[in-house]
Structure 1
Amino acid sequence: MTRLHIFDMDGTLLRGAASVELSRHLGVFEPADRIERAWLAGEISDIGFWDAMLPLWADVPESEIDAAFVAAAWIEGVPEVFEDIVRRGEHIAVISQSPHFFVRRLQGWGAHHTFGSQVLPGRPTTQDLLLTLQDKVDIALRLLDELRLTETECVAYGDSTSDTLLFDRLTHTVGVNCNANLRERAAVCYDGDDLREAYALGRSLMDTRASSEAAG
């Protein structure tokens, strides 16, 4: 049976934010942390966030981004979960508001589809480059259509406000260490440090639905 597993990245697969993890590796954590805090407090806009953050990564070679990716604070079990999904012949999509140049590196762990904001150091930030909450829904529905799957053959994993519209749309949703807003919307919630346990909850949601449909 073909299925689609959709993952948020920051706060779901990654314990923190990709922008801070990359900045930590490059030795510019303190200014990056200040920018992140200002954005979380609503003191700067999304575009203001990237206008301040991207110059910290100017002229960074691909090898350093690779190293930052490997050294980042991933939740336990991400490669193992991806490996299991691939082994079953199912599909993995990662949809994140973080830079796609970081998100796409998850393809090396087995992700079939990766989406992120198209921001780049040295490139002006415009609204059309940013991945929005609605984009997450639109991308998910497009993938389901391309794979000829129904919404009940899909499970989404997320942690925060950026996942609210997606969780409102889909039936099978797993909140991973999620905030109160998403906790109200999630079908089930997982609190812990091992994606394999959250993944087991997601599989259970789909398996229960499949069993009910078969019995009916």
Structure 2
Amino acid sequence: MDSPGKHIGDRPRTLHLFDLDGTLIRGSAAAVEISRQLGVSAEIAELEREFLTAGLAPDEFAVRARELWSELTAAQVEAAFEGAPWLAGIREVWETIRGRGDYCAVITLSPDFFVERLLPWGAHATHGSRWPALPFTGPVDRAGILDTAAKVRIAQELCARFGVRPADCVAFGDSMSDAAIFASVPRAVAVNADHHLAGLATHTYTGGDLREAFALLDAPLDGPRA
């Protein structure tokens, strides 16, 4: 079992924080992949559009997605997870992080029943919005749906859990939901990112392999942060 600790030899431990949608899953999201299994891709695309451009709140997104997913089964979630366009090299990167004595965690606004499937891949922790258990028998509890501020709070809680200073964290993300956490850590890698992270990332990666994005942390900074 991994034991919390502040240092390994002469260096502090590092906590690597990964977003899910658009970051580990390239060009897609858990909600999109789940909706594809249910034949409601057009409907979820409209919700995604409202979230990205019209200010739809994460809890309202979840409530409306729950209506679309009323018949969702665990088998469909598994199929959505297995069929998602994952970046290559995720397991290898997390194995490297663990081998160094460091930590890796995934924090996402997407449902917990999807992101927790990454634990066997090597993540020390996963945090997603809290949804009712499958098959759904009740509504989404809005209080359990994460927002951007919650991602920063959870990162702080993970620092305390693993004995890591916020100054020794690295974030990986792609969009506006990652802006706050990017601003809260000294190093951040924008992975296939949109304009919302301009000036907030110390490194920028475009491509399909997390090993390449991770390797940027050993390279010179792309430029000064805003």
TM-score, normalised with respect to structure 1: 0.86
Residue 116 of structure 1 aligns to a residue whose secondary structure is: strand
Q: 1:27 to 1:169 in 2, by over 3 A?
A: same
Residue 125 of structure 1 aligns to a residue whose secondary structure is: coil
- Aligned partner letter, 2:183: D
- Aligned partner letter, 1:82: W
Q: Percent identity?
A: 40
Residue 97 of structure 1 aligns to a residue whose secondary structure is: strand
- Once the two structures are superposed, residues 145-201 of structure 1 have per-residue CA deviations (whole angstroms, 9 ceiling, x without a partner) of 222222332211011111111111110111111122212111111122211111111
Tell me, in whole angstroms, the C-alpha distance in 2 between the residues paired with 1:38 and 1:32.
10
TM-superposed deviation, 1:126: 4.2
Q: State the match for 1:166 in structure 2.
A: 181
2:198 to 151, 158, 183: 183
Q: State the match for 1:3 in structure 2.
A: 14
Q: 1:158 to 1:28 in 2, by over 3 A?
A: same
- Identify unmatched segments of 5+ residues in structure 1: 207-216
Higher mean alpha-carbon deviation, 32-41 vs 11-20, is at 32-41
Residue 193 of structure 2 aligns to a residue whose secondary structure is: coil
2:91 to 79, 84, 91: 79
Residue 186 of structure 1 aligns to a residue whose secondary structure is: coil
Q: State the match for 2:123 in structure 1.
A: 111
Answering whether residue 44 of structure 2 is matched by residue 32 of structure 1, we say: yes
Q: State the match for 1:95 in structure 2.
A: 107
TM-superposed deviation, 1:205: 7.2
Does the aligned pair in 1 maintain the 2:94–2:122 contact within 8 Å?
yes
Tell me, in whole angstroms, the C-alpha distance in 2 between the residues paired with 1:4 and 1:50.
28
Does the aligned pair in 1 maintain the 2:66–2:140 contact within 8 Å?
no
Does the aligned pair in 2 maintain the 1:54–1:122 contact within 8 Å?
no
Does the aligned pair in 1 maintain the 2:190–2:197 contact within 8 Å?
yes
- Once the two structures are superposed, residues 5-39 of structure 1 have per-residue CA deviations (whole angstroms, 9 ceiling, x without a partner) of 10000011012111011111233222222222233
Does the aligned pair in 2 maintain the 1:55–1:122 contact within 8 Å?
no
Tell me, in whole angstroms, the C-alpha distance in 2 between the residues paired with 1:54 and 1:205.
44
Residues paired across the two proteins, number:
206
Q: 1:60 to 1:84 in 2, by over 3 A?
A: same
Does the aligned pair in 2 maintain the 1:92–1:112 contact within 8 Å?
yes
Structure showing the higher helix proportion among its residues = 1
Higher mean alpha-carbon deviation, 121-130 vs 141-150, is at 121-130
What RMSD over aligned residues (CA atoms) do the two structures have, in Å?
2.1
Does the aligned pair in 2 maintain the 1:183–1:189 contact within 8 Å?
no
Higher mean alpha-carbon deviation, 185-194 vs 146-155, is at 146-155
TM-superposed deviation, 1:83: 2.2
- Aligned partner letter, 2:59: I
2:172 to 136, 140, 157: 157
Q: State the match for 2:145 in structure 1.
A: 130
TM-superposed deviation, 1:204: 4.7
- Identify unmatched segments of 5+ residues in structure 2: 1-7, 222-226
Tell me, in whole angstroms, the C-alpha distance in 2 between the residues paired with 1:150 and 1:45.
31
